[in-house]
Chains A and B, each alone.
Chain A
């Protein structure tokens, strides 16, 4: 039985502890079309949706060993959309049987003066990039196939260059804490994308 869509969950006491469940993989540029074709078949029927986002990662350094990280994202191709501020916690150290990376997440929609406000709070830009690609949906799962572009001059979103000759593929779900069945559904969906792409649980710590 699938978890009900997040919007139907009752809001208890004004705070929901939301978790992001994540699986990632990548494909070379030349395999993009076949993956998109398969996703169009597997996912919910909707108009093909592309996106072009500009993301800035902000750090707040305190006396704690690790700085506080916040991600500010805005849509470059659609006007009138709010900025998206995101906090991602440390990955939960669950049992090895859990199929997806699970971490606490807080998503906030804000007005466009977000960067000025974060700087006023003491945050500083650590790095920024552009993400351009396609997004699909299947129930509460979101599948993104996108390319990351390096911004050559800080603040100038016009001059960019691709970071690699591949596309990043992400399958993610944002659901209330304790919904481990979500990761089973994600694993089942990921199976259907093999062998075009192998989506795995990748712990960011192991890459650093």
Chain B
């Protein structure tokens, strides 16, 4: 996969989540981007069961299991500041077998769903981030497909993002810092989504009046 930047776009003043998403997608369509289906990235949280903690003497840890519609046969396992495992879809079945040791915090399941746009060599995904029934924010994923070395194309990515995100263009993602010249991988995109989802979870819920 090409170098990807995942960012959060704040909801526009006086507008709902849906309206802000429409503003962004309209800007993309005016630029000439073509709709190319939909996407979904989801994240489930597991915590170490109390029984394992007491016998191992370790503190409870949070493990995230994520899926990305761009890689339908894969499953990603992540720990915050820890390794990101890329596995095939059977990893979900293994988590069911590990029920006694890792509990699924079902209420914490968070996902981003939206439309996929292609603009020349860029792939842009604008998604509504939802937790349960409520929309909590907006995610924008921009991928520059031809390049696999993060630091080589950051400037280009930033310039492209400014053309439709304006002031909401993010700074360089923290995963890029550790990459140096190594190849960008889908695991890096999932780490960015995990950080975004964690940030959104901590944020105040969008006031009900804004969700229409």
Contacts and interface: CB of A to CB of B under 8 A. Distances in A.
| Secondary structure type dominating chain A contacts | mixed
Nearest to B90: A108
A57 interface: no
A109 B87 contact: yes
Interface residues of B, number: 32
Interface residues of A, number: 24
A120 interface: yes
B86 A110 contact: yes
Nearest to A107: B90
A110 B91 CA distance: 9
Interface of A: 14-15, 60-64, 68, 85, 87, 89, 106-111, 113-114, 116-117, 120-122
Contacts of B94: 85, 87, 106, 108
Contact of B55 (A14, A61, A89, A120): A61
A62 B61 contact: no
B56 A117 contact: no
A120 B61 CA distance: 9
Contacts of B79: 117, 120
A61 B51 CA distance: 9
Contacts of A116: 82-83
B162 to A, nearest CB: 34
B85 interface: yes
14 contacts: A15-B93, A61-B56, A68-B97, A89-B97, A106-B90, A106-B93, A106-B94, A108-B91, A113-B83, A120-B82, A120-B83, A121-B63, A121-B102, A122-B56
A106 B90 CA distance: 7
B52 A122 contact: yes
Contact of B100 (A62, A107, A110, A120): A62
A15 B82 CA distance: 28
A14 B87 contact: no
Contacts of B49: 62
Contacts of A110: 85-88, 91
A70 to B, nearest CB: 8
Nearest to A121: B63
Contacts of A111: 85-87, 187
